[in-house]
Structure 1
Amino acid sequence: RMISMAWSNGYFPVYENCKTKYFDTGEIMFESIKKDLKEAKNYIFFETFILDQGHMWDTILNILLQKVEEGVDVRLIYDDFGTITHLEKDYEKYLTERGIKTYTFNKIRPQLAVQMNNRDHRKMIIIDGLKAYTGGINIADEYINTKERFGYWKDMGIRIEGKGVEMFTIAFLQIWNYQSNENTQYDSFLLPEKDYEKIKGQGYIIPFSDSPTDDNNTGKNMHLNMLNMANDLFWITTPYLILDTEMVNALTLAVNNGVDVRIVVPGIPDKKLVYEVTKSNYELLIKKGVKIYEYTPGFIHGKVCLSDQESALVGTVNMDFRSYYINYECGIWLYKTSCIPNIRHDLEQIFEQSHLVTLKECQETNPIVRNFRNILRIFSPLM
Structure 2
Amino acid sequence: MTTIMWIVVAILVLNTLGAIITVLREVRDISTTWAWLLVLIFLPVIGFGIYMFAGRGLSAKKVQQIQEQYVAGVDAFLALQKHENNRNRLLPPSDLSPASRELVNLFLNTDQAPVLGNNQLQIYTDGEKKFAALFRDIDAAKSFIYIEYYTIYADQLGHELQRHLVAKAKEGVTIKVLYDAWGSLGATAKFWRPLTDVGGQVETYFSSQHIFTDFRLNYRDHRKVVVIDDAVGYIGGFNVGDQYVSRAPKFGYWRDTHLRVQGDTVQALKVRFLMDWNATVKDDKQIAYSVKPLENTEPSQLNTPIQIVASGPDNHHQQIKFGYTKMISSATESVWIQTPYLVPDDTVFDALTSAALSGIDVRIMVPDMPDHPFIFRATQYYANALTALGVKVYHYQNGFLHAKTMIVDGKIASVGSANLDIRSFKLNFEINAFIYDRQVAGQLRDIFEDDLKKSRLLTMEEINHQSRWLHFKQRFSRLLSPIL
Do the structures match in fold with TM over 0.5? yes
Equivalent residue number for residue 284 of structure 1: 385
Q: CA deviation at 1:90?
A: 4.2
Partner AA of 1:289 in structure 2: G
In structure 2, the partner of 1:99 is 199
Question: Does the 8 A contact of 1:296 with 1:355 survive in 2?
Answer: yes
Distance in 1, Cα, partners of 2:312 & 2:436:
23
Contact 1:19 1:201 in 2 (8 A): no
Cα offset, 1:87, TM superposition: 2.4
Give 2:264's aligned residue.
163
Match of 2:422 in 1: 321
Question: For 1:268, what is the secondary structure of its paired residue?
Answer: coil
Q: In structure 1, what residue type is equivalent to 2:408?
A: S
- The equivalent position to 1:362 in structure 2, one of 445, 463, 468, is 463
User: What are the superposed Cα offsets for residues 112-164 of structure 1, whole Å, 9 maximum, x if unpaired?
Assistant: 98x75200000010011221101110000111113333232111101111111
- Contact 1:123/1:136 (8 A) holds in 2: yes
Q: Is the 8 Å Cα contact of residues 227 and 250 (structure 1) preserved in structure 2?
A: yes
2:117 to 16, 19, 32: 16
Partners of 2:422 and 2:195 lie apart in 1 by: 33
Judged with a 3 Å threshold, the aligned counterparts in structure 2 of structure 1 residues 356 and 67 are, in CA distance, closer, same or farther, namely same
Which position in structure 1 is the counterpart of 2:10? none
Is 1:87 aligned with 2:187?
yes
Deviation at 1:23, TM superposition (A): 1.2
Residue 286 (structure 2) aligned to one of 180, 184, 191 = 184
**Secondary structure in structure 2 of the residue aligned to 1:317:** coil
Higher Cα radius of gyration? 2
Q: Structure 2 CA distance, aligned partners of 1:5 and 1:186?
A: 29
Distance 1:335 1:58 in 2: 37
SS at match of 1:370: helix
Where does residue 41 of structure 1 map in the other structure?
142
Q: Which residue of 2 aligns with 1:135?
A: 236
Amino acid at match of 2:462: E
Residues 253-264 of structure 1 aligned to structure 2 (within 5 Å): 253-264=354-365
Cα distance change, pair 112–89 in 1 and its aligned pair in 2 (3 A): closer
Choose which of 304, 307, 320 in structure 1 pairs with 2:405: 304
Per-residue deviation, 1:372:
2.2
> 2:340 & 2:297 partners in 1: Cα distance?
36
The residue number in structure 2 matching 1:231 is 332
Q: Deviations over 1:209-237 (max 9, x none)?
A: 11211101111112111111111110111
Higher relative contact order (CA 8 A, sep 6+): 1
Gaps (5+ residues) in structure 2?
1-101
Q: CA deviation at 1:256?
A: 2.2
Amino acid at match of 1:281: Y
What one-letter code is carried by the residue in structure 2 that aligns with 1:220? K
Letter in 2 for 1:61: Q
Q: Within 1, Cα distance between the matches of 2:410 and 2:217?
A: 40
C-alpha separation in 2, matches of 1:367 and 1:98: 59
Per-residue CA shift, 1:34-67, capped at 9, x if unaligned? 1111111111100001111233222221111111
Structure 1 residues 41 and 112: CA distance shift in structure 2, 3 A: closer
CA shift in 2, pair 1:342/1:94, >3 Å: same
Tell me the TM-score normalized by structure 1: 0.93
Output the amino acid matched with 1:247.
V
| Shift in Å, 1:11 | 0.4
User: Structure 2 CA distance, aligned partners of 1:374 and 1:296?
Assistant: 24
For 1:103 and 1:148, the matched residues in 2 are separated by 31
1 or 2, which has the higher helix percentage?
2
Provide the rounded CA distance (Å) in 2 between the counterparts of 1:360 and 1:167: 47
Instruction: For 2:213 and 2:157, locate their aligned partners in 1 and report how far apart those are by CA, in whole Å.
Output: 34
Higher strand share: 1
- Output aligned runs, 1:201-240, within 5 Å: 202-240=303-341
**Greater displacement, 54-63 / 289-298:** 54-63
Equivalent runs, 1:51-90 vs 2, <5 Å = 51-84=152-185, 86-88=186-188, 90=190
1:246 aligns with: 347
TM-score when scaled to structure 2?
Answer: 0.74
Q: CA deviation at 1:94?
A: 5.5
3-state SS of 1:161 partner: strand
- When structure 1 is superposed on structure 2, of 298-307 and 336-345 the one drifting more is 336-345
Residue 101 of structure 1 deviates from its aligned partner by 0.5
- C-alpha contact (below 8 Å) 1:303/1:317 kept by paired residues: yes
Amino acid at match of 2:315: D
- Aligned-pair RMSD on alpha carbons? 2.0
**Unmatched 5+ residue regions in structure 1?**
none
**Which segment is superposed worse, 232-241 or 251-260?**
251-260
